[in-house]
Amino acid sequence: MKLFVTGLLCLTLSTLTVADTMSNGIFQLINQRLTYMQDVALFKAKNHSAVEDIQREKQVLEKALIDAEQAGLQPESIAGFFQAQMDAAKAIQYRYMADWLSTQPDSDEYRDLASEVRPKLLELGDEIIIRIGDYLKGGGTFDNKMQKTFVRTVNVTNLSESDKKKMFQSLQMIRLIKN
């Protein structure tokens, strides 16, 4: 048995279950996806675009439902999760823009939304769906005990506790397709 020591934290390999590792990987992907919202907000602010893009949200949701079914997930069960992510993403963007009314952004440079950011968001969304499917197929669940880990891991700037709670609760609602 290997012992890992990081600062004051000591963990034995046996204390980390496969489920813990997989769920934490999913949480990290969700966090990574939300980190792009600063770029999205800056792009939209500099280009005088609205935060809310209903047509784009519809496209993202439709793709997520198709991808979910291919991953063995009930599409209607993942719709709430993707909507919660999009709602959190918009809230983050609005909060950045509100802050920028009184202070300038740290940088005026941003990644292009169409060529850089959206492809990465789609890639991360696909990976999240695949990982959730694998996790649930392996017998994993998103139980209430995991909420603290989720809140600690999904920690991007301008993400509120209520946004996190809504995302986690919607994550708990995702189900596999019954054969």
User: What distance in Å separates the CA atoms of residue 148 and residue 153, rounded to the nearest whole number?
Assistant: 8
Helix (H/G/I), strand (E/B), else coil: 82: helix
Under 8 Å between Cβ of 30 and 132: no
pLDDT digits (tens, 9 = 90+) for 118-145: 999 999 999 999 999 999 999 999 999 9
Partner residues linked to 4 by β-bridges = 11
Tell which wins on pLDDT, 8 or 125.
125
User: What distance in Å separates the CA atoms of residue 177 and residue 75, rounded to the nearest whole number?
Assistant: 8
Helix (H/G/I), strand (E/B), else coil: 26: helix
- Which DSSP letter does residue 159 get? -
Which structural domains are found in the chain, ordered by start?
Answer: 17-172 (1.20.59.10)
In 3D space, the residue among 171, 179, 115 whose CA is nearest the CA of residue 140 turns out to be 171
Sign of the torsion angle spanned by Cα atoms 95, 100, 105, 108: positive
How far out from the chain centre does Cα 89 lie?
A: 9
| Average pLDDT estimate for 17-34 | 84
| Amino acid identity, position 66 | I
The confidence band for 6, taking pLDDT boundaries of 50, 70 and 90, is very low
